[in-house]
Amino acid sequence: MKNRIFLIVSLATVGTALIVAHSSSDPDAVRQKVVSKEREELEAVKRGDSATFAGLIAEDAVFVDPRGTAGKAEVVQNTAEFKLLEYSMDDIRFVPVSPKSGLVAYRLTEKGVSHGRDFSGQVHASALWTEREVEWVCIFSQETPARQPEPARQHA
């Protein structure tokens, strides 16, 4: 009887330790994963790889830009006519949301072709990534055009 109680207590202790170890993920590791997934998504757009791009987006994802909101299907369709030639991510900020999710916000400078027209500019972007069934997916993304700084006024 004592052996059974010892075994049950031991299993419960090991199980609890595994749960705690699994749930107390390193925020730096989550940050690295989220930023790398965001770059992977941008690289897929740069290559014109719609399949990889679509695979990085959750089916229930929501995207927001100056035109409003869109779901995955609409974003993937619109991105088919969009190709990045160059991009850079600057002023990257990260907020851990849980041991398996995080929010990244940054300034995106980009040059590319959209629907046959060249473009370049900067946007403030943010994305929320989470791990679902061992795959990391984007569940929310937002882009806001960056305002150009106003020239300094001369005082007379």
Q: Is the pLDDT of residue 132 over 80?
A: yes
Q: Indicate the pLDDT class of residue 2, thresholds 50, 70 and 90.
A: low
The confidence score (pLDDT) of residue 151 equals: 67
Q: Quick: pLDDT tens for 45-100.
A: 999 999 999 999 999 999 999 999 999 999 999 998 899 999 999 999 999 999 99
Q: Indicate the pLDDT class of residue 27, thresholds 50, 70 and 90.
A: confident
Q: Is the pLDDT of residue 107 over 80?
A: yes
CATH topology of domain 26-145: Nuclear Transport Factor 2; Chain: A, (3.10.450)
In 72-81, which positions are buried (b, 16+ CB within 10 angstroms) versus exposed (e)?
Answer: beebbeebee
Cα–Cα distance for residue pair 77/73, rounded to 1 Å? 6
Cα–Cα distance for residue pair 139/143, rounded to 1 Å? 14
Q: Is the pLDDT of residue 15 over 60?
A: no
Give the global pTM: 0.78
The confidence score (pLDDT) of residue 76 equals: 96
Sequence ranges of the domains in the chain: 26-145
